[in-house]
Protein backbone atom coordinates (compact mmCIF):
# COMPACT_ATOMS: atom_id res chain seq x y z
CA UNK A 1 0.00 0.00 0.00
CA UNK A 2 1.36 3.44 -0.94
CA UNK A 3 1.67 5.75 2.05
CA UNK A 4 -0.76 8.70 1.97
CA UNK A 5 2.08 11.22 2.38
CA UNK A 6 3.96 9.99 -0.70
CA UNK A 7 4.62 13.08 -2.89
CA UNK A 8 3.41 13.03 -6.48
CA UNK A 9 3.09 15.35 -9.46
CA UNK A 10 -0.46 15.38 -10.81
CA UNK A 11 -0.50 17.97 -13.58
CA UNK A 12 1.75 19.90 -15.94
CA UNK A 13 1.27 22.76 -18.36
CA UNK A 14 3.54 24.48 -20.89
CA UNK A 15 3.18 27.51 -23.14
CA UNK A 16 5.36 29.00 -25.87
CA UNK A 17 4.44 32.47 -27.16
CA UNK A 18 5.68 33.07 -30.71
CA UNK A 19 4.92 35.33 -33.65
CA UNK A 20 3.19 37.96 -31.53
CA UNK A 21 3.91 41.66 -31.84
CA UNK A 22 5.36 43.12 -28.61
CA UNK A 23 2.36 45.35 -27.96
CA UNK A 24 0.06 42.31 -28.11
CA UNK A 25 2.33 39.92 -26.23
CA UNK A 26 1.02 38.45 -23.00
CA UNK A 27 3.08 39.37 -19.98
CA UNK A 28 5.05 36.70 -18.09
CA UNK A 29 2.49 36.54 -15.27
CA UNK A 30 -0.31 35.76 -17.72
CA UNK A 31 1.76 33.03 -19.41
CA UNK A 32 2.50 31.44 -16.05
CA UNK A 33 -1.18 31.58 -15.00
CA UNK A 34 -2.18 29.92 -18.28
CA UNK A 35 0.28 27.11 -17.56
CA UNK A 36 -1.25 26.72 -14.08
CA UNK A 37 -4.70 26.30 -15.64
CA UNK A 38 -3.31 23.83 -18.15
CA UNK A 39 -1.70 21.88 -15.32
CA UNK A 40 -5.03 21.70 -13.51
CA UNK A 41 -6.71 20.41 -16.66
CA UNK A 42 -3.89 17.92 -17.17
CA UNK A 43 -4.62 16.48 -13.73
CA UNK A 44 -8.24 15.91 -14.73
CA UNK A 45 -9.52 18.59 -12.37
CA UNK A 46 -11.45 21.77 -12.97
CA UNK A 47 -9.25 24.88 -12.83
CA UNK A 48 -11.15 25.93 -9.72
CA UNK A 49 -8.98 23.49 -7.78
CA UNK A 50 -6.19 26.05 -8.09
CA UNK A 51 -7.97 28.12 -5.45
CA UNK A 52 -7.13 25.36 -2.97
CA UNK A 53 -3.34 25.46 -3.33
CA UNK A 54 -1.61 26.19 -0.03
CA UNK A 55 1.85 26.72 -1.55
CA UNK A 56 2.80 28.74 -4.62
CA UNK A 57 6.46 28.50 -5.64
CA UNK A 58 7.91 30.49 -8.55
CA UNK A 59 11.27 30.11 -10.25
CA UNK A 60 13.27 33.34 -10.43
CA UNK A 61 11.99 35.33 -13.42
CA UNK A 62 14.64 36.63 -15.77
CA UNK A 63 13.95 39.80 -17.76
CA UNK A 64 10.91 41.29 -15.98
CA UNK A 65 10.49 42.31 -12.35
CA UNK A 66 7.45 41.56 -10.20
CA UNK A 67 7.31 42.71 -6.58
CA UNK A 68 6.14 39.34 -5.25
CA UNK A 69 5.79 36.80 -8.07
CA UNK A 70 4.21 33.97 -6.02
CA UNK A 71 1.50 36.26 -4.64
CA UNK A 72 0.91 37.82 -8.06
CA UNK A 73 0.45 34.34 -9.54
CA UNK A 74 -1.83 33.32 -6.67
CA UNK A 75 -4.03 36.34 -7.34
CA UNK A 76 -4.25 35.36 -11.01
CA UNK A 77 -5.57 31.89 -10.17
CA UNK A 78 -7.75 32.88 -7.22
CA UNK A 79 -5.63 31.28 -4.51
CA UNK A 80 -4.64 32.47 -1.04
CA UNK A 81 -1.66 30.27 -0.21
CA UNK A 82 -0.20 30.12 3.25
CA UNK A 83 3.28 29.72 1.76
CA UNK A 84 4.85 31.87 -0.99
CA UNK A 85 8.25 30.75 -2.30
CA UNK A 86 10.58 32.42 -4.77
CA UNK A 87 13.93 31.00 -5.85
CA UNK A 88 17.32 32.51 -6.40
CA UNK A 89 18.92 32.44 -9.85
CA UNK A 90 19.87 29.11 -11.37
CA UNK A 91 18.91 26.51 -13.94
CA UNK A 92 18.92 23.95 -11.14
CA UNK A 93 16.04 25.66 -9.32
CA UNK A 94 13.00 23.98 -10.96
CA UNK A 95 14.25 20.50 -9.98
CA UNK A 96 15.45 21.83 -6.64
CA UNK A 97 11.94 23.21 -6.06
CA UNK A 98 10.37 19.83 -6.83
CA UNK A 99 12.77 18.16 -4.39
CA UNK A 100 12.00 20.72 -1.68
CA UNK A 101 8.22 20.66 -2.15
CA UNK A 102 8.21 16.85 -2.20
CA UNK A 103 9.98 16.93 1.17
CA UNK A 104 7.38 19.33 2.57
CA UNK A 105 4.56 17.12 1.30
CA UNK A 106 6.15 14.04 2.85
CA UNK A 107 6.52 15.98 6.12
CA UNK A 108 2.85 17.14 6.01
CA UNK A 109 3.74 20.84 5.84
CA UNK A 110 2.34 21.21 2.30
CA UNK A 111 -0.81 19.66 0.88
CA UNK A 112 -1.31 21.11 -2.60
CA UNK A 113 1.40 23.11 -4.36
CA UNK A 114 1.73 24.99 -7.63
CA UNK A 115 5.24 25.39 -9.05
CA UNK A 116 5.73 27.70 -12.00
CA UNK A 117 8.23 29.70 -13.95
CA UNK A 118 8.36 31.93 -17.00
CA UNK A 119 10.45 34.22 -19.14
CA UNK A 120 9.44 36.61 -21.89
CA UNK A 121 12.90 37.80 -22.89
CA UNK A 122 11.98 37.66 -26.58
CA UNK A 123 9.09 40.13 -26.23
CA UNK A 124 11.02 42.41 -23.89
CA UNK A 125 13.94 42.60 -26.33
CA UNK A 126 11.71 43.15 -29.36
CA UNK A 127 9.78 45.88 -27.57
CA UNK A 128 13.00 47.63 -26.62
CA UNK A 129 14.26 47.54 -30.20
CA UNK A 130 10.91 48.80 -31.53
CA UNK A 131 10.60 51.54 -28.93
CA UNK A 132 7.40 49.99 -27.54
CA UNK A 133 6.53 50.53 -23.89
CA UNK A 134 5.15 47.30 -22.49
CA UNK A 135 2.09 47.85 -20.33
CA UNK A 136 2.78 44.91 -18.07
CA UNK A 137 2.05 44.77 -14.36
CA UNK A 138 4.51 45.11 -11.50
CA UNK A 139 2.99 42.32 -9.42
CA UNK A 140 1.83 42.11 -5.83
CA UNK A 141 3.35 43.33 -2.60
CA UNK A 142 4.72 41.41 0.33
CA UNK A 143 7.87 39.37 0.74
CA UNK A 144 8.02 35.73 -0.35
CA UNK A 145 10.32 33.19 1.24
CA UNK A 146 13.44 33.06 -0.93
CA UNK A 147 15.17 29.70 -1.19
CA UNK A 148 18.33 28.56 -2.92
CA UNK A 149 21.98 29.57 -3.00
CA UNK A 150 22.33 33.28 -3.79
CA UNK A 151 26.10 33.71 -4.20
CA UNK A 152 27.34 35.25 -7.43
CA UNK A 153 28.91 32.81 -9.86
CA UNK A 154 32.23 34.51 -10.58
CA UNK A 155 35.03 36.38 -8.84
CA UNK A 156 36.34 39.77 -9.87
CA UNK A 157 39.60 38.11 -10.91
CA UNK A 158 37.81 35.70 -13.24
CA UNK A 159 35.75 38.53 -14.71
CA UNK A 160 38.86 40.64 -15.30
CA UNK A 161 40.15 37.94 -17.64
CA UNK A 162 36.88 37.48 -19.55
CA UNK A 163 35.52 34.43 -17.71
CA UNK A 164 32.23 36.10 -16.88
CA UNK A 165 29.54 34.80 -19.24
CA UNK A 166 28.33 31.28 -20.00
CA UNK A 167 29.33 31.83 -23.64
CA UNK A 168 32.99 32.11 -22.65
CA UNK A 169 33.12 29.79 -19.64
CA UNK A 170 31.43 26.68 -21.03
CA UNK A 171 33.74 26.50 -24.06
CA UNK A 172 36.64 26.15 -21.61
CA UNK A 173 35.00 23.07 -20.16
CA UNK A 174 34.59 21.78 -23.72
CA UNK A 175 38.24 22.22 -24.66
CA UNK A 176 39.25 20.43 -21.46
CA UNK A 177 36.91 17.59 -22.39
CA UNK A 178 38.44 17.29 -25.85
CA UNK A 179 41.90 16.87 -24.36
CA UNK A 180 40.56 14.48 -21.71
CA UNK A 181 38.94 12.32 -24.42
CA UNK A 182 42.14 12.35 -26.50
CA UNK A 183 40.44 13.75 -29.60
CA UNK A 184 41.90 16.10 -32.16
CA UNK A 185 40.05 19.28 -33.08
CA UNK A 186 38.40 17.91 -36.23
CA UNK A 187 37.29 14.66 -34.54
CA UNK A 188 35.92 16.65 -31.66
CA UNK A 189 33.95 19.02 -33.88
CA UNK A 190 32.33 16.09 -35.69
CA UNK A 191 31.44 14.44 -32.39
CA UNK A 192 29.84 17.64 -31.10
CA UNK A 193 27.84 17.95 -34.31
CA UNK A 194 26.47 14.44 -33.93
CA UNK A 195 25.57 15.04 -30.28
CA UNK A 196 23.72 18.25 -31.06
CA UNK A 197 22.02 16.86 -34.15
CA UNK A 198 20.32 14.21 -32.03
CA UNK A 199 18.95 16.98 -29.82
CA UNK A 200 17.48 18.81 -32.83
CA UNK A 201 15.65 15.63 -33.84
CA UNK A 202 13.81 15.72 -30.52
CA UNK A 203 13.13 19.47 -30.73
CA UNK A 204 11.70 19.08 -34.24
CA UNK A 205 8.93 16.87 -32.81
CA UNK A 206 8.22 19.06 -29.76
CA UNK A 207 5.27 21.47 -30.18
CA UNK A 208 6.70 23.77 -27.49
CA UNK A 209 10.18 24.05 -29.02
CA UNK A 210 11.32 27.50 -30.08
CA UNK A 211 13.32 26.04 -32.97
CA UNK A 212 11.52 22.87 -34.11
CA UNK A 213 14.10 22.36 -36.86
CA UNK A 214 16.12 19.25 -37.50
CA UNK A 215 19.75 20.08 -38.32
CA UNK A 216 22.53 17.80 -39.50
CA UNK A 217 25.76 17.32 -37.64
CA UNK A 218 27.63 19.04 -40.45
CA UNK A 219 25.31 22.07 -40.41
CA UNK A 220 25.71 22.49 -36.65
CA UNK A 221 29.48 22.05 -36.69
CA UNK A 222 30.29 24.21 -39.72
CA UNK A 223 30.95 27.90 -39.16
CA UNK A 224 28.93 30.08 -41.56
CA UNK A 225 27.57 33.65 -41.46
CA UNK A 226 24.35 32.19 -40.01
CA UNK A 227 26.29 29.96 -37.60
CA UNK A 228 29.10 32.28 -36.57
CA UNK A 229 31.67 31.29 -33.99
CA UNK A 230 30.77 32.62 -30.54
CA UNK A 231 33.70 31.26 -28.50
CA UNK A 232 35.87 28.38 -29.68
CA UNK A 233 34.84 25.63 -30.19
CA UNK A 234 31.14 26.63 -30.13
CA UNK A 235 29.43 28.19 -33.12
CA UNK A 236 25.99 29.73 -32.56
CA UNK A 237 24.00 26.52 -33.06
CA UNK A 238 25.70 24.98 -30.01
CA UNK A 239 24.71 27.80 -27.65
CA UNK A 240 21.63 27.97 -25.42
CA UNK A 241 18.96 30.36 -26.62
CA UNK A 242 17.71 32.72 -23.92
CA UNK A 243 15.71 34.94 -26.29
CA UNK A 244 12.36 33.14 -25.94
CA UNK A 245 8.88 33.54 -24.43
CA UNK A 246 8.17 30.29 -22.58
CA UNK A 247 6.42 29.20 -19.39
CA UNK A 248 5.75 25.94 -17.58
CA UNK A 249 4.08 24.83 -14.35
CA UNK A 250 3.42 21.63 -12.39
CA UNK A 251 1.07 20.78 -9.54
CA UNK A 252 2.22 18.59 -6.66
CA UNK A 253 0.34 16.91 -3.82
CA UNK A 254 0.31 13.73 -1.77
CA UNK A 255 -1.18 10.37 -2.70
CA UNK A 256 -3.77 10.76 0.06
CA UNK A 257 -4.89 14.20 -1.08
CA UNK A 258 -4.95 13.08 -4.72
CA UNK A 259 -7.35 10.31 -3.71
CA UNK A 260 -9.50 12.81 -1.81
CA UNK A 261 -9.63 15.05 -4.88
CA UNK A 262 -10.60 12.10 -7.05
CA UNK A 263 -7.58 12.34 -9.34
CA UNK A 264 -7.18 9.27 -11.53
CA UNK A 265 -4.01 7.37 -10.55
CA UNK A 266 -3.08 7.28 -14.25
CA UNK A 267 -2.21 10.99 -13.87
CA UNK A 268 0.13 10.45 -10.93
CA UNK A 269 3.88 10.73 -11.43
CA UNK A 270 6.13 9.86 -8.51
CA UNK A 271 9.42 11.49 -7.57
CA UNK A 272 11.35 8.28 -6.92
CA UNK A 273 14.64 9.84 -5.94
CA UNK A 274 16.47 13.16 -5.84
CA UNK A 275 19.76 14.80 -5.01
CA UNK A 276 21.18 18.33 -4.74
CA UNK A 277 24.82 19.35 -4.51
CA UNK A 278 27.25 22.13 -5.42
CA UNK A 279 30.69 21.86 -6.91
CA UNK A 280 33.51 24.06 -5.61
CA UNK A 281 31.79 27.36 -6.12
CA UNK A 282 34.06 29.38 -8.41
CA UNK A 283 35.49 28.04 -11.64
CA UNK A 284 38.97 28.97 -10.45
CA UNK A 285 38.50 26.46 -7.62
CA UNK A 286 37.43 23.43 -9.63
CA UNK A 287 39.10 20.05 -9.29
CA UNK A 288 39.43 20.03 -13.08
CA UNK A 289 37.39 21.17 -16.10
CA UNK A 290 36.14 17.82 -17.41
CA UNK A 291 34.29 16.44 -14.39
CA UNK A 292 31.77 17.36 -11.70
CA UNK A 293 31.99 15.61 -8.34
CA UNK A 294 28.67 17.24 -7.41
CA UNK A 295 26.72 15.74 -10.33
CA UNK A 296 28.26 12.37 -9.59
CA UNK A 297 27.23 12.53 -5.94
CA UNK A 298 23.75 14.00 -6.50
CA UNK A 299 23.05 11.32 -9.10
CA UNK A 300 24.31 8.60 -6.79
CA UNK A 301 22.09 9.82 -3.97
CA UNK A 302 19.02 9.98 -6.24
CA UNK A 303 19.54 6.45 -7.55
CA UNK A 304 20.26 5.08 -4.09
CA UNK A 305 16.94 6.39 -2.74
CA UNK A 306 15.16 3.66 -4.72
CA UNK A 307 17.95 1.14 -5.17
CA UNK A 308 18.32 1.31 -8.95
CA UNK A 309 21.20 1.93 -11.34
CA UNK A 310 21.66 4.21 -14.32
CA UNK A 311 20.95 1.29 -16.68
CA UNK A 312 17.41 1.16 -15.24
CA UNK A 313 16.57 4.65 -16.54
CA UNK A 314 14.56 4.79 -19.77
CA UNK A 315 14.53 8.55 -20.45
CA UNK A 316 16.91 11.41 -19.71
CA UNK A 317 16.84 15.15 -19.87
CA UNK A 318 20.36 16.27 -19.06
CA UNK A 319 20.85 20.00 -18.67
CA UNK A 320 22.03 21.19 -22.05
CA UNK A 321 22.94 24.88 -22.06
CA UNK A 322 26.11 23.88 -23.93
CA UNK A 323 27.45 20.50 -25.09
CA UNK A 324 30.03 20.42 -22.29
CA UNK A 325 27.23 20.42 -19.69
CA UNK A 326 25.60 17.44 -21.41
CA UNK A 327 28.83 15.46 -21.67
CA UNK A 328 29.94 16.10 -18.11
CA UNK A 329 26.48 15.18 -16.83
CA UNK A 330 26.50 12.02 -18.93
CA UNK A 331 29.97 11.01 -17.79
CA UNK A 332 29.34 11.70 -14.11
CA UNK A 333 26.11 9.70 -14.14
CA UNK A 334 27.85 6.76 -15.78
CA UNK A 335 25.98 6.86 -19.09
CA UNK A 336 28.19 5.40 -21.85
CA UNK A 337 29.15 7.83 -24.60
CA UNK A 338 27.67 5.47 -27.22
CA UNK A 339 24.44 4.83 -25.28
CA UNK A 340 21.44 4.62 -27.61
CA UNK A 341 19.10 6.34 -25.15
CA UNK A 342 18.46 10.00 -26.10
CA UNK A 343 19.82 12.48 -23.59
CA UNK A 344 16.87 14.88 -23.90
CA UNK A 345 13.08 14.69 -24.01
CA UNK A 346 12.55 18.37 -24.92
CA UNK A 347 15.27 19.02 -27.50
CA UNK A 348 17.56 20.93 -25.14
CA UNK A 349 18.22 24.57 -24.43
CA UNK A 350 19.74 25.52 -27.83
CA UNK A 351 16.78 24.06 -29.77
CA UNK A 352 13.79 23.81 -27.43
CA UNK A 353 14.84 27.20 -26.05
CA UNK A 354 16.33 27.95 -22.68
CA UNK A 355 14.40 30.34 -20.48
CA UNK A 356 16.75 32.06 -18.07
CA UNK A 357 16.07 29.80 -15.08
CA UNK A 358 12.95 27.77 -15.90
CA UNK A 359 14.03 25.36 -18.64
CA UNK A 360 13.99 22.34 -16.33
CA UNK A 361 10.31 22.91 -15.53
CA UNK A 362 9.74 22.12 -19.21
CA UNK A 363 11.95 19.04 -18.82
CA UNK A 364 9.80 17.82 -15.93
CA UNK A 365 6.50 18.57 -17.67
CA UNK A 366 7.62 16.78 -20.83
CA UNK A 367 9.01 13.86 -18.85
CA UNK A 368 5.67 13.44 -17.06
CA UNK A 369 3.87 12.93 -20.35
CA UNK A 370 6.38 10.35 -21.55
CA UNK A 371 6.21 8.36 -18.33
CA UNK A 372 2.42 8.33 -18.26
CA UNK A 373 2.38 7.08 -21.84
CA UNK A 374 4.52 4.09 -20.85
CA UNK A 375 3.77 3.12 -17.24
CA UNK A 376 6.68 1.40 -15.58
CA UNK A 377 9.33 3.45 -17.36
CA UNK A 378 11.63 5.78 -15.45
CA UNK A 379 13.06 9.18 -16.29
CA UNK A 380 15.99 11.18 -14.92
CA UNK A 381 16.18 14.99 -15.08
CA UNK A 382 19.15 17.17 -14.19
CA UNK A 383 19.43 20.91 -13.71
CA UNK A 384 22.42 23.12 -13.12
CA UNK A 385 23.10 26.72 -12.25
CA UNK A 386 25.92 29.11 -13.01
CA UNK A 387 28.95 27.31 -14.50
CA UNK A 388 28.41 23.62 -13.75
CA UNK A 389 28.15 24.88 -10.17
CA UNK A 390 24.73 24.13 -8.62
CA UNK A 391 23.10 20.78 -9.38
CA UNK A 392 19.76 19.08 -8.88
CA UNK A 393 18.68 15.59 -9.95
CA UNK A 394 15.25 13.98 -10.00
CA UNK A 395 14.12 10.47 -10.91
CA UNK A 396 10.49 10.02 -11.93
CA UNK A 397 8.05 7.25 -12.80
CA UNK A 398 4.29 6.79 -13.15
CA UNK A 399 4.80 3.53 -11.27
CA UNK A 400 4.90 3.63 -7.45
CA UNK A 401 8.42 3.28 -6.04
CA UNK A 402 9.44 0.20 -4.10
CA UNK A 403 10.67 2.35 -1.21
CA UNK A 404 9.08 5.24 0.70
CA UNK A 405 10.18 8.79 -0.14
CA UNK A 406 13.00 9.64 2.29
CA UNK A 407 15.21 12.44 1.05
CA UNK A 408 18.59 12.80 2.67
CA UNK A 409 19.36 16.39 3.63
CA UNK A 410 21.83 17.65 0.98
CA UNK A 411 23.79 19.44 3.70
CA UNK A 412 24.65 16.02 5.10
CA UNK A 413 26.68 15.06 2.03
CA UNK A 414 27.81 18.42 0.67
CA UNK A 415 30.89 18.18 2.88
CA UNK A 416 32.05 15.21 0.80
CA UNK A 417 32.41 17.50 -2.21
CA UNK A 418 33.79 20.40 -0.22
CA UNK A 419 36.70 18.16 0.79
CA UNK A 420 37.69 17.51 -2.84
CA UNK A 421 41.24 18.88 -3.31
CA UNK A 422 41.85 21.52 -5.95
CA UNK A 423 44.83 23.56 -7.13
CA UNK A 424 45.74 26.77 -5.36
CA UNK A 425 45.09 29.94 -7.38
CA UNK A 426 47.82 32.54 -7.80
CA UNK A 427 46.53 36.01 -8.69
CA UNK A 428 49.82 37.46 -9.96
CA UNK A 429 51.64 34.58 -11.62
CA UNK A 430 55.08 34.78 -13.12
CA UNK A 431 57.14 32.27 -15.05
CA UNK A 432 56.70 29.19 -17.18
CA UNK A 433 53.31 27.54 -17.35
CA UNK A 434 51.04 25.17 -19.24
CA UNK A 435 47.52 25.68 -20.57
CA UNK A 436 44.99 23.66 -18.57
CA UNK A 437 42.10 24.86 -20.71
CA UNK A 438 41.18 27.91 -22.77
CA UNK A 439 38.85 29.51 -25.29
CA UNK A 440 38.95 32.18 -27.98
CA UNK A 441 36.09 34.68 -27.77
CA UNK A 442 34.71 36.22 -30.97
CA UNK A 443 32.83 39.44 -31.67
CA UNK A 444 29.39 39.65 -33.30
CA UNK A 445 30.96 39.53 -36.74
CA UNK A 446 32.64 36.24 -35.91
CA UNK A 447 36.13 37.71 -35.60
CA UNK A 448 38.41 36.28 -32.87
CA UNK A 449 39.17 39.00 -30.34
CA UNK A 450 40.34 37.48 -27.04
CA UNK A 451 42.15 34.41 -25.82
CA UNK A 452 41.24 33.31 -22.30
CA UNK A 453 43.54 30.83 -20.58
CA UNK A 454 43.37 28.84 -17.38
CA UNK A 455 46.84 27.49 -16.79
CA UNK A 456 49.19 25.90 -14.32
CA UNK A 457 52.57 27.09 -13.22
CA UNK A 458 55.28 24.47 -13.03
CA UNK A 459 54.66 24.15 -9.28
CA UNK A 460 51.03 23.15 -9.96
CA UNK A 461 49.37 26.41 -8.94
CA UNK A 462 46.55 27.61 -11.22
CA UNK A 463 46.32 31.00 -12.92
CA UNK A 464 43.98 32.96 -15.22
CA UNK A 465 45.38 34.96 -18.10
CA UNK A 466 44.71 36.40 -21.52
CA UNK A 467 46.82 35.79 -24.59
CA UNK A 468 48.03 38.53 -26.92
CA UNK A 469 45.16 39.49 -29.23
CA UNK A 470 47.06 39.22 -32.51
CA UNK A 471 45.26 37.16 -35.13
CA UNK A 472 48.08 34.61 -35.49
CA UNK A 473 48.01 33.68 -31.81
CA UNK A 474 44.21 33.41 -31.69
CA UNK A 475 44.02 31.38 -34.91
CA UNK A 476 46.71 29.00 -33.71
CA UNK A 477 44.65 28.13 -30.63
CA UNK A 478 41.76 27.14 -32.89
CA UNK A 479 43.73 25.09 -35.40
CA UNK A 480 46.21 23.38 -33.06
CA UNK A 481 45.41 21.87 -29.69
CA UNK A 482 45.96 24.47 -26.98
CA UNK A 483 45.59 22.28 -23.90
CA UNK A 484 49.08 21.32 -22.76
CA UNK A 485 50.86 24.07 -24.72
CA UNK A 486 53.67 25.80 -22.92
CA UNK A 487 54.28 29.50 -22.45
CA UNK A 488 55.28 32.26 -20.08
CA UNK A 489 52.85 34.17 -17.89
CA UNK A 490 53.35 37.64 -16.41
CA UNK A 491 51.20 40.05 -14.43
CA UNK A 492 50.61 43.80 -14.69
CA UNK A 493 47.85 46.21 -13.72
CA UNK A 494 45.54 43.55 -12.32
CA UNK A 495 45.53 41.18 -15.29
CA UNK A 496 47.80 38.41 -16.48
CA UNK A 497 49.24 37.73 -19.93
CA UNK A 498 50.22 34.35 -21.32
CA UNK A 499 52.69 34.26 -24.22
CA UNK A 500 52.85 31.00 -26.15
CA UNK A 501 56.28 29.54 -26.68
Which tens digit of pLDDT belongs to each residue from 332-371?
A: 999 999 999 999 999 999 999 998 999 999 999 999 999 9
Q: Is residue 2 part of a domain?
A: no
List C-alpha distances in Å: 413 to 91, 344, 408: 21, 28, 8
Give percent helix, percent strand, percent coil of the chain, each to the nearest 5.
35, 25, 40
Say if strands 145-147 and 112-120 run parallel, antiparallel, or are unpaired: unpaired
pLDDT number for residue 11: 98
Give the max Cα distance, the chain: 72
* Residue 173 near residue 290 (C-beta atoms within 8 A): yes
pTM of the model: 0.97
pLDDT number for residue 355: 87
Which domain covers residue 280, as residue numbers?
7-152+242-418
CATH of the domain at 98: 3.40.47.10
Q: Is residue 301 part of a domain?
A: yes
- Determine the Cα–Cα distance for residues 46 and 464; give it in Å rounded to an integer: 57
One domain, residues 258 and 399: yes
One domain, residues 53 and 28: yes
First-residue to last-residue Cα distance in the chain = 69
Q: Is the pLDDT of residue 1 over 80?
A: no
CATH of the domain at 459: 2.40.50.840
Closest residue by Cα to residue 6 from 237, 236, 256, 348:
256
One domain, residues 254 and 333: yes
Backbone φ and ψ of 285, nearest 5°: -100, 0
The total domain count for the chain is 3
Query: Over the stretch 361-400, which tens digit does the pLDDT of each residue have?
Result: 999 999 999 999 999 999 999 999 999 999 999 999 999 9
Query: Over the stretch 449-469, which tens digit does the pLDDT of each residue have?
Result: 999 999 999 999 999 999 999
Amino acid sequence: MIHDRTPILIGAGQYTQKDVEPAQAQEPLALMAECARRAAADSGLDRRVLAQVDTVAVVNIFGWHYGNPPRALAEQIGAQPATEIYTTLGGNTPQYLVNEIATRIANSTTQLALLGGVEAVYSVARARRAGVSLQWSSGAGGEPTVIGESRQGTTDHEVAHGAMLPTTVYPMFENALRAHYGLNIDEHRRRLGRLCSRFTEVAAANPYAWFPVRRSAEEIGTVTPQNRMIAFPYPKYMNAILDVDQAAAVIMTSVGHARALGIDPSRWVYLWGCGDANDHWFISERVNYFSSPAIRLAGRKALAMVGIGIDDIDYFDLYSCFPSAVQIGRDMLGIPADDARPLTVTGGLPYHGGPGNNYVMHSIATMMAKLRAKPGTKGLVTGLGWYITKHAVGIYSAQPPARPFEREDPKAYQAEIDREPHPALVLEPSGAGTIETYTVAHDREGTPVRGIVIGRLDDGRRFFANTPDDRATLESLMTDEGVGRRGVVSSANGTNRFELQ
